[in-house]
A and B are shown apart, each in its own frame.
Chain A
Amino acid sequence: MTQEKNKLWDVDQNLFESMKGNYISENEENFFKNIQYKQEYECTALNDVLVSAYENNDELYVVREIFEEYVVGHGIGTNGAYEEHVMNLSEALALNLKDLGFIDRNLTLWEWLRECDYAVVNYERNYDIIENGKRS
């Protein structure tokens, strides 16, 4: 995709900088590097499904919209009934999933991702790229 670099929110820029050299695993490093690139260069009009509710036992989903907006939700077939829309990655990672009623364990989204070492994240589901040329 040939796009101009998107200027990140300050909180996300600071987050990405603070993570350098402090990743707890290779998968965490991959996550932050992939997400920073997506937020800077990979605009999506059709959405980028990072986590699908069909692919984890807690039925959580995480969807990136435009450059850096995120929808975090719960449940299969819930059609948006249980979800939060936030403006950047820092807000998304700080969401408390128990407070939202999504899961019983007291975890933020970031803690939940660390719990599974980011195994649920799919970086290849940006519908704009999947359908480029298909003319949805």
Chain B
Amino acid sequence: MGNGADFFSRDERGRRSEYVSLEPPRIVNGVKGHLIKRKGDKDTYSNLPLYSNTSDVYFRQNENGVCQARVYTGQKTILDFDWSHTHTNKSDGRKFPRGTVHVQIWKENKDGSFTRLNDARSMSNAEMKKYGPILKDYCPTVKLR
């Protein structure tokens, strides 16, 4: 594991995290990002965590490089920036090609589960200004919009 492993070893409630760091965190444009993966050598196919304890944004990578970011407010998942695949919206048929960010919004339910809201959309101007630099830092080829 990378140098950030110890820093990432406990979650926000003091329990051992299911995830490990792949490299030290980066701070770009005031946003702290961390490239992580689920613990263990076996493929788990699971996504980035629902809760953050060390960063504003967690990133995941696959064989093609860094391909998704999950953003947290108050340590809870609020949205995904995803460019790992071609996405088509169900309601309006809008397509987002692989390599271009589509944004998915999440809300937490009363029972602690999370639900995605509505169709995907493009990054807003405010999101591009705040998160664009760190997305480009982790994946220089990503198209923000």
Contacts and interface: CB of A to CB of B under 8 A. Distances in A.
Pairing of A with B:
yes
Nearest to A12: B90
B13 A2 contact: no
A70 B47 CA distance: 13
Contact of A9 (B43, B86, B90): B90
Interface string A59-94: 001010111000100001111110001010000000
Interface residues of A, number: 36
Contact of B43 (A46, A53, A132): A53
B51 A128 contact: no
A80 B62 contact: yes
Interface string B34-45: 000000001111
A114 B67 CA distance: 33
A79 B49 contact: no
B109 A2 contact: yes
B112 interface: yes
Contact of B113 (A2, A53, A85): A2
Contacts of A46: 46-47, 49-50
B115 A4 contact: yes
Contacts of A71: 45, 85
Nearest to B41: A77
Contact of A1 (B17, B45, B64, B111): B111
A85 B84 contact: yes
B13 A132 contact: no
A133 interface: yes
A135 B113 contact: no
Given A43-B113, A87-B88, A136 B44 contact: no
Interface in A1-52: 1-4, 7, 9, 43, 45-47, 49, 52
A123 interface: no
B45 A45 contact: no
B112 A132 contact: yes
B26 interface: no
Interface of B: 11-13, 15, 17-19, 42-47, 49-51, 62-64, 67, 77, 84-88, 90, 104, 106, 109-116
- Would you list the 3 A-B pairs with minimal beta carbon distance, nearest first? A80-B62, A85-B85, A81-B63
